[in-house]
Every structure is written in structure tokens, then in C-alpha cells.
Chain A
Amino acid sequence: MSTLEKSNQAQFMIELRDMNKWYGEFHVLKNINLQVQRGERIVICGPSGSGKSTMIRCINRLEEHQKGDIIVNGTELTNDLKNIELIRRDVGMVFQHFNLFPHLTVLENCCLAPIWVKKKPRAEAEATAMEYLERVKIPDQALKYPGQLSGGQQQRVAIARSLCMNPDVMLFDEPTSALDPEMIKEVLDVMIELADEGGMTMLCVTHEMGFAKTVADRVIFMDAGQIIEENEPHEFFNNPQHERTQLFLSQILQH
């Protein structure tokens, strides 16, 4: 199980096979099967408590799954720390509450992992960081502390921080849910730009249906720990198959 069979051209970027997870007695994820192509952009939605965050948090081992297989970029996720480390290098993550390091400046937040995980020279790490801060449009905030920034700015720093590690996959765990309405757009714009560049595999848990329509190659609907329905966005929104999906969509699209 723990062999490092990392073929460069694994068929799928991410593959979940019959993945199950329990919190004690509670069965959070039930027989999840999911295959994600390289460069594919997936939006995951569903009611709260449906297990969507838990599912993507299993992919970089912030949560442990108990049954089934998770294979990321050809590496199987097991208890082997080596494998976990390998996968985490390839997978970036953006959190609902940003989780920036409050005691480090924006630039230091972005350089920490490249310097101490990828062993890059500081000057090179800083140059890369500035490049990504440029792309999320806040290079002028580089020397400030996270506490001095607005929520939207903090989330864009968090995205830049992940990108500095040059990941193949980006996981977004409700990146706009903690933001004021006027700041949601600036974060979504950055994410759309990232998607438009192509090449990045993206899994995004979000309720921003506009974003899903513009960006997603595929929308996945989850309920009660199961994937109920998946389809390309046009079909998903206009012609939902499952009753539960129809109900969910009617509720969130009312406004």
C-alpha cells in the first residue's frame, strides 16, 4: 500500500474510490467515488452538514478517511508520512477563515513554506511571492500584517500563499462564506482569473452559483455524505435530475 509509485502521467489528478469516513458513530462520507482530470475545475455544493468540506479536507489529510482509497497525482494517501508530505506539496488549500499567520507579514506568510519546505533561497522565494501578490492585486500590502487588511484582501493573500508552493491542485473550502458581500467579488475575480489561465486543477466548495456557471467544468451535489448528482453546469442548473437537487437549487436561487 505504501509504495511510492508515482508515475508522472497518472490517469487522474485525484481519484477517490469507495471512500468512507466516520466521526465516531456518525457516518460522514459514504462510498464516495470521484475522478478528477488534470486541469479540471469542479464546484461542490450541497446543504450544510452534507460532508462537502470534509471530503476535500480528506484529500490533503487534514481529515483521515477510514475506508477506501484516495490517490492524488499517482500517490496513494496512506498513513505513510512520506506520502502525506508528497501530496501536501502538490495540493494547495484556501480556508473559509483564511488562516493567515497573524505574526508574520504578508510577504513572510507567502515565503515561509517555499523557504522551509521547498528550500528555496530567500530572494527567489520573495520574488515569486511578489509575483503572486501582483496577480491577486495587492503587491502594495506585502509588508503589512494580516490584521491590517480587509477580509477580501486577506483571502487573496491566502490564495497567493498557496500558489507560491506551485501546487497542481487547489482546494477551496468555502472561500467567500466569511466575507462581506462587497468583498466576495474581488476574491471570486481572482479565482476566475486563476481558472482562466488553465492548467490548475480546482476543487471548490462554494454556494456562489454564478461562479459555478462561469468557471466549473462539472458541478457536484452532495447530501448526507453522498454524491447525489454530478453534471456539467448548464445541465446541472437547468435540468437537475434528482429531487433533492431540485429542492436545494430552488431554495438557493430564490433570492
Chain B
Amino acid sequence: MSSNRPSSESPTKPDSTPRFWNDPDKRALIFQGLIVLALGAFILTVVSNTLHNLEQRGITTGFDFLSVEAGFGILQSLIPYSEADSYGRTFIVGLLNTVLVSFLGIIAATFLGFLIGVGRLSKNWLLAKICAVYVEIFRNIPLLLQIFFWYFAVLRTLPSPRQSFELFGGYLNVRGLYLPAPILEDGFGIVWTALIVGIVATWLFKRWADKKHDESGREYPVGLIALGLIVGLPLLVFFFAGAPVTMDYPALKGFNFRGGVTLIPELIALWLALTIYTAAFIAEIVRGGILAVPHGQLEAASALGLPRGRTLRFIIIPQALRVIIPPLTSQYLNLTKNSSLATAIGYPDLVSVFAGTTLNQTGQAIEVIFMTMAVYLTLSVLTSIFMNWYNSRSALIER
């Protein structure tokens, strides 16, 4: 905490040593010392005051409560969980649910956002207008309201299990979406092997094709062959191995469906709302990125005879991506943090389960809130680090 000024006196004025309180360096030191003292005193007061109050109310501090039995049920859990499990486990369950909906949301919002953003630039008048209306509607309605809409107005008004809609072998009703789940049998391992072989072969082929292209100018249908190797090969092996998969179909037993996978309506509503809301912002980011590429670049590419696809691949996308990625990162962070609105419709995310029920039952507000904030901070920083890494890879050197 020292000042940046050079502390040695100027040699040309040996006699002009200022008085102690007029010397800027020493003054700076004094002020900084005072600030540190004040800050330290403030923190000390807050901490001791809090400890005192907690003691008076008989609340023990510390993280011991994490191993105490929770005693409440959670609607959806990615790991085995029962009421007999500890509060620590509710933390993990909530965390995984937050990660699940954020991850699904980011993937879907990216796809939808890119489609809408490009669509808004389309020469097709109708398509462009539809995309524009989409953006203006969904980014201008509060997210919480949109979550309520999907949850209460759409999903809660679905029929009861007995009158379920049937779609693609699954069932949709007021209790959620019930989908058949594949159960892998012995011998499915060979399909995984085929998939890995396909991916490696594609990578090798791409390298070979690039080299051949550099040498002879000949082009190979890399995309088609990659599709064949990655999708076709495992599929072929799958059928030759006698299709070693059985489907676990959901079936109506009593008042509800059993078997298969269930997507609870809270998850569907939250996922839909986060996706649709964030996609509107991503669409604008994508549109802005593409428009940021000067028109002269297109003209130069046309004048050189580059076809549209090539122009897009070599000229437009590399230049647009560099503009798109930093604000795209912000949207991913927003989506992750916005997922905490889950608590409004009772989706069991971290805030709802841990900073909600667990906090209420244990009263360990400081510890719980601290842990929850640390989680969001960590998730956001991790996303940032990943996106910055990707950005530095796709960022273009221009000088």
C-alpha cells in the first residue's frame, strides 16, 4: 500500500525538504493507514456483533449442521436422496438441479438465439418480421412473469394423467412429461466403441483431407463422411449387435405413470422461460455481430468470386464471432443467475432447496447464504474462464 511516486527528493533542490505533513508521499501513507484502520474496526464490529447476537439467540455457528438429517423431501434429484439424508446432501441436490437447468438453458438458448438472430437478417420479409417480433416480445416481458406464464397458464392447465397427451411414445400431463428411457443391455459397449472409432476416424480423415486440399486443391465431402462415420457407423454396429437396448416405457399405474424418465413441469417451465427469454438477447447479439462486419468485406469477397457459403465461412463468421462472444458470455452468466427464480414456482434449485428450506429449518443464515453465493460466484467464474479461453482462441489477430 505504498504510493507510486518516487520517494527520493529531487537532487537539484537539496534544501527544499517539505515539512512532514506537506510531503505528498508521507501524506498518502498516513491516509492509507487511516483507511485500513477504519476498515479493520468496521469488520471487527460487524463480526463481533454478529457472533454476540447469534450467541444470544442460541444459534451455534459453524458448518456442523450440514451433517444433520434434513427430514424433508425434494421434488427432483439427480442423485439418490431421501428425507433421511443430511442437509449437506440437500446442498448437492440443489446445486445439481441448478446446474442441470442452466446447462440445458444455455444449450437451447444458444441454438434458438442464433437461429432467430440470423433469421432477422434474412431477405425473406415474413421470416425477418417474425424474428423481430419474437425478440421485441420476449426481451421486454419480465422473466418472472414468463416463468409464471409457462408454469401456471400452460403446464398447470394440462389434463390429468388419465387424459394425458401422447407424444412420441411419451405422455404429457399436469404432472409433467413422461418419456421412455433406454436401458442399455450387455453388448452395448461395442456401440460405444464404434462411436469412439468413428470420432477418431473422422479426425484422421479431416486431417488427411486438409492436407490433400493444400497439396492438390481437391476437396472432399468432409461433412458427409463425418456424418457417416460418427452417426452411421455406430448405428450399423448397433443393429448388427442385435439392438442391445430395451426401452422402459412409462405406463399408467393407478393415478400416475411409472417407469421411463420424468421431466417435472417446474423444470419444463423454467427451462422454457429461461431459453426463450435469453434467446431473444442472444439473437440481438448475433445480429449485431454479423452487422458489425463492414459491407466492403462482402463486396471484396463477391468481387473475388467467392460463393456465399465460402464468404460466410471465411469472411463473415470469423469476424462476427469476435464481436459476439464477450456479450454472449454475459448472457450465459445471466441465465445461470436467473435460474434462481426457480424458487417462485418451486423448482428445487439451489436457492429454493438450500437457501430456502434448509435455511428455514436450520436458521444458519450466514453459512447458507455464504455457501449459496459462493456457488454462483464459482459457476460464473468458471463460465467466464471457459468463454475467455474460447474467446482468446477465436479472437483474431489483426496487427
Asked if chains A and B come from one complex, the reply is: yes
Determine whether the beta carbon of B215 is less than 8 Å from that of A116: no
Residue from the list B213, B307, B319 in contact with A103, Cβ < 8 A: B319
Which of B294, B296, B305, B398 neighbours the largest number of chain A CB atoms within 10 Å of its CB?
A: B305
Contact flags (1/0) for A80-115 with B, using CB distance below 8 Å?
Answer: 000001001101110101011111000000001101
Determine whether the beta carbon of A93 is less than 8 Å from that of B303: yes
**Contacts A99-B297, A101-B297 given; does A165 touch B398 at CB 8 Å:** no
Q: Which residues of B contact A97 (CB under 8 A)?
A: 296
Contact flags (1/0) for B308-320 with A, using CB distance below 8 Å?
Answer: 0010001100110
**Contacts A95-B299, A95-B300, A101-B300 given; does A112 touch B306 at CB 8 Å:** yes
Contact flags (1/0) for B97-116 with A, using CB distance below 8 Å?
Answer: 00000000000000000000
Q: Which residues of A contact B319 (CB under 8 A)?
A: 102-103
Determine whether the beta carbon of B214 is less than 8 Å from that of A122: yes
Chain A residue at minimal CB-CB distance from B397: A145
Residue from the list A89, A99, A161 in contact with B296, Cβ < 8 A: A99
What total of chain B residues lie within 8 Å of the partner, measured CB to CB? 28
Residue from the list B296, B307, B399 in contact with A95, Cβ < 8 A: B296
Measured in the bound complex, the distance between the Cα atoms of B294 and A115 in whole Å is 23
A62 shortest CB reach to chain B, Å? 5
Measured in the bound complex, the distance between the Cα atoms of B219 and A122 in whole Å is 12
B399 shortest CB reach to chain A, Å? 4
- Interface residues in B359-399 (C-beta closer than 8 Å to A): 396-399
Determine whether the beta carbon of B399 is less than 8 Å from that of A161: no
Determine whether the beta carbon of A89 is less than 8 Å from that of B305: yes
Determine whether the beta carbon of A115 is less than 8 Å from that of B217: yes
Chain A residue at minimal CB-CB distance from B211: A122
Determine whether the beta carbon of B399 is less than 8 Å from that of A165: no
Measured in the bound complex, the distance between the Cα atoms of B294 and A100 in whole Å is 11
Q: Which residues of A contact B304 (CB under 8 A)?
A: 88, 92, 112-113, 117, 161-162, 165
Chain A residue at minimal CB-CB distance from B314: A112
B19 at the interface (CB under 8 A from A): no
B276 shortest CB reach to chain A, Å? 33
A123 at the interface (CB under 8 A from B): yes
Measured in the bound complex, the distance between the Cα atoms of B306 and A93 in whole Å is 13
Measured in the bound complex, the distance between the Cα atoms of B216 and A102 in whole Å is 27
Measured in the bound complex, the distance between the Cα atoms of B397 and A146 in whole Å is 10
- Interface residues in B303-348 (C-beta closer than 8 Å to A): 303-307, 310, 314-315, 318-319, 322
Chain B residue at minimal CB-CB distance from A88: B305
Chain B interface, >50% SS class = helix
What total of chain A residues lie within 8 Å of the partner, measured CB to CB? 35
Q: Which residues of A contact B217 (CB under 8 A)?
A: 115, 118-122, 124
Q: Which residues of A contact B253 (CB under 8 A)?
A: none
Determine whether the beta carbon of A62 is less than 8 Å from that of B299: yes
Determine whether the beta carbon of B299 is less than 8 Å from that of A102: no
- Interface residues in A39-66 (C-beta closer than 8 Å to B): 60-62
**Contacts A119-B218, A121-B216, A145-B399 given; does A103 touch B318 at CB 8 Å:** yes
Measured in the bound complex, the distance between the Cα atoms of B217 and A123 in whole Å is 10
B302 at the interface (CB under 8 A from A): yes
Q: Which residues of B contact A68 (CB under 8 A)?
A: none
Determine whether the beta carbon of B296 is less than 8 Å from that of A165: no
- Interface residues in A137-164 (C-beta closer than 8 Å to B): 145-148, 161-162
B253 shortest CB reach to chain A, Å? 60
Measured in the bound complex, the distance between the Cα atoms of B304 and A91 in whole Å is 8
Determine whether the beta carbon of B306 is less than 8 Å from that of A117: yes
Contact flags (1/0) for B199-233 with A, using CB distance below 8 Å?
Answer: 00000000000000111111100000000000000
Q: Which residues of A contact B219 (CB under 8 A)?
A: 119
Measured in the bound complex, the distance between the Cα atoms of B303 and A101 in whole Å is 13
- Interface residues in B104-148 (C-beta closer than 8 Å to A): none
Residue from the list B299, B300, B398 in contact with A147, Cβ < 8 A: B398
Chain B residue at minimal CB-CB distance from A85: B305
Q: Which residues of A contact B302 (CB under 8 A)?
A: 60-62, 88
Determine whether the beta carbon of B315 is less than 8 Å from that of A101: yes
A68 shortest CB reach to chain B, Å? 21
Chain A residue at minimal CB-CB distance from B215: A121
A146 shortest CB reach to chain B, Å? 8
Q: Which residues of A contact B305 (CB under 8 A)?
A: 85, 88-89, 113, 117, 165
**Contacts A102-B319, A119-B217 given; does A60 touch B303 at CB 8 Å:** yes
Measured in the bound complex, the distance between the Cα atoms of B216 and A113 in whole Å is 15
Measured in the bound complex, the distance between the Cα atoms of B310 and A112 in whole Å is 10
Determine whether the beta carbon of A62 is less than 8 Å from that of B214: no
Measured in the bound complex, the distance between the Cα atoms of B296 and A92 in whole Å is 15
**Contacts A97-B296, A123-B214, A123-B215 given; does A85 touch B318 at CB 8 Å:** no
Measured in the bound complex, the distance between the Cα atoms of B323 and A6 in whole Å is 44
Chain A residue at minimal CB-CB distance from B218: A119
Q: Which residues of A contact B306 (CB under 8 A)?
A: 112-113, 116-117
Measured in the bound complex, the distance between the Cα atoms of B399 and A60 in whole Å is 31
B301 shortest CB reach to chain A, Å? 8
B195 shortest CB reach to chain A, Å? 32
Determine whether the beta carbon of B214 is less than 8 Å from that of A121: yes
Nearest 6 A-B pairs (CB), nearest first?
A99-B300, A147-B399, A103-B396, A113-B304, A122-B214, A88-B305
Give B residues with C-beta under 8 Å from A.
Answer: 213-219, 294, 296-297, 299-300, 302-307, 310, 314-315, 318-319, 322, 396-399
Name 15 extra pairs, CB < 8 A, besides A92-B304, A112-B304, A124-B217.
A62-B303, A88-B302, A88-B303, A95-B296, A95-B300, A97-B296, A99-B299, A101-B297, A102-B319, A112-B306, A118-B217, A121-B216, A147-B398, A165-B304, A165-B305
Write 17 A-B pairs (CB below 8 A) sorted by A numbering: A60-B302, A60-B303, A61-B302, A85-B305, A88-B302, A89-B305, A93-B300, A93-B303, A97-B296, A99-B297, A99-B299, A115-B213, A116-B314, A117-B305, A117-B310, A119-B218, A121-B215
